[in-house]
Amino acid sequence: MVTFENGEGPDSVLDGFTIQGGLATSGGGILCDSSSPTISNCTISGNMADGGGGIYCAQSSPIITNCTISDNWVSWQGGGIRCDGSPALITNCTISGNMANGGGGGIDCYGYPPTVTNCTISGNSASWGGGIYLNGSSPSMTNCIINGNTADDGGGVYCNNSSPPITNCTITSNSATQNGGGIYCGGNSPPGVFNIVNSILWGDTVGGSVNEIYLDGTTSIHITYSDIEEGWEGTGNIDADPLFVGGGDYHLTASSPCIDTGTSVGAPPDDIDGDARPQGSGYDMGSDEYAYLTISTDKSLYFTDNTMKVSLQTRVEIPPIVADVYIRIVLPGGAPTYYYPAWSTTPTPVVSSWTVTDWGPAVFFSHTFSGIEPGGEYTWQAALTEPGTYNIIGEISFAPFTFSP
């Protein structure tokens, strides 16, 4: 067990350590008592305590970044992290598989609110708030994925007298046995303060039935520009399958209705992966800003004995993907457009269902000019599309070239 209790500040750094097997009353792995150290790149796993199985923060403001906090256990509050009157800064952390007999399998907050950004909070369990339990605390939560957590009430998030601003978060596949598969709101959380914006709540259940948000009758919640399964009143809200990649991957796919349908108001400058927002014509809902396929500049087009040769290499945001490959040419004068290899005006893929990996192998195409083609400036383009469709997910143009028959 590591203890900070002498007023340590952010210059006291714990970096790159694995802390496991600890046993304590408070803070099985790390205890911050009236101290504010920096804890980075650490693995905090398999610890036990009454409160704060992984980390316990008491009247402290630690910076906790790039850490994995997993498989810790408490007999009461805060399986992964407990913040007691502690405005901690928690960023880029994975908090998973933790358990609390009381509240907050992943994170438990009381009093001064922490800030939780770019975190994945998954597979935690508790009686209240499988992912996060808030009691008189309203932490800012931005670009977070809260998924696969379980509880009696509030599978994803439990709010008691709390009104956290939730922005660009993905809350999905959480479950509760009683109320609030996604979010439970109780204890007179102040109306008009509890704001959810640009977020996705989908696939959260109670007893196997969809139950995204539960209000206990004394609270209200303000939701805008969000995708809520079974709907929710509010400006810009939708009720449509977000079309995640799937298999536990909560990135958006190209056809997601959450792309470009969020709002710029209050949106963060980037997403959970560090991709800039926005990528398209508008801001996306959820933790992921869909990054359109990038086709690298590692390409070439050259001639040998009137033979045009193309080398194309690709890079994708989330390898691998499967795509069809098209090569098209715009003849001199700007029309018509033909598609290789059939030289038809009907789009025909050169390669179908090509598995594209991160900086995957180059593909090569060639065409020998027969002399009947018109002379002038040609423009060549390559495009990747969704398999079996002409829905373009990435394209690039080669520099124009001149052919003289």
List the CATH number of the domain containing 386: 2.60.40.3880
Quote the pLDDT of residue 369: 65
* Domain final position from 252, 277, 309: 252
Tell me, yes or no, whether 292 lies in a domain. Answer: no
Quote the pLDDT of residue 376: 77
Phi-psi map region of 208: left, alpha, beta (phi>0 left; psi -120 to 50 alpha): left
Tell me, yes or no, whether 290 lies in a domain. Answer: no
Asked whether the predicted pLDDT for residue 192 surpasses 70, the reply is: no
- What pLDDT, in 10s, does the model give residues 151-174? 999 999 999 999 899 999 999 999
- Structural domain for 110, as ranges: 2-252
| Peptide bond between residue 341 and the one before it cis (omega within 30 degrees of 0) | yes
Residue 388, CB half-sphere, CA atoms under 13 Å: how many? Answer: 0
Do residue 235 and residue 334 come from a single domain?
A: no
pLDDT band at residue 306 using 50, 70 and 90 as cut-offs: low
Task: Kindly state the DSSP code that residue 238 receives in the 8-state scheme.
Answer: B
Do residue 211 and residue 348 come from a single domain?
A: no
Tell me, yes or no, whether 8 lies in a domain. Answer: yes
Do residue 235 and residue 304 come from a single domain?
A: no
* pTM of the predicted structure, to 2 decimals: 0.77
Do residue 166 and residue 308 come from a single domain?
A: no
Quote the pLDDT of residue 297: 38
- What pLDDT, in 10s, does the model give residues 276-294? 899 888 999 999 998 765 5
Rounded to whole angstroms, the Cα distance separating 156 from 37 reads 28
Tell me, yes or no, whether 288 lies in a domain. Answer: no
Rounded to whole angstroms, the Cα distance separating 197 from 237 reads 9
Q: How many angstroms separate the Cα of 66 from the Cα of each of 39, 118, 397?
A: 8, 10, 38
Which of 115-119, 147-151, 395-399 has the least mean pLDDT?
395-399
Which of 99-103, 112-116, 399-403 has the least mean pLDDT?
399-403
Tell me, yes or no, whether 33 lies in a domain. Answer: yes
Quote the pLDDT of residue 379: 75
What's the total number of domains in the chain? 2
Quote the pLDDT of residue 113: 94
Do residue 211 and residue 329 come from a single domain?
A: no
What secondary structure does DSSP assign to 323-350, as a single string? EEEEEEEE-TTS--EEEETTTBSS---S
Asked whether the predicted pLDDT for residue 317 surpasses 60, the reply is: no
- What pLDDT, in 10s, does the model give residues 34-70? 999 999 999 999 999 999 999 999 999 999 999 999 9
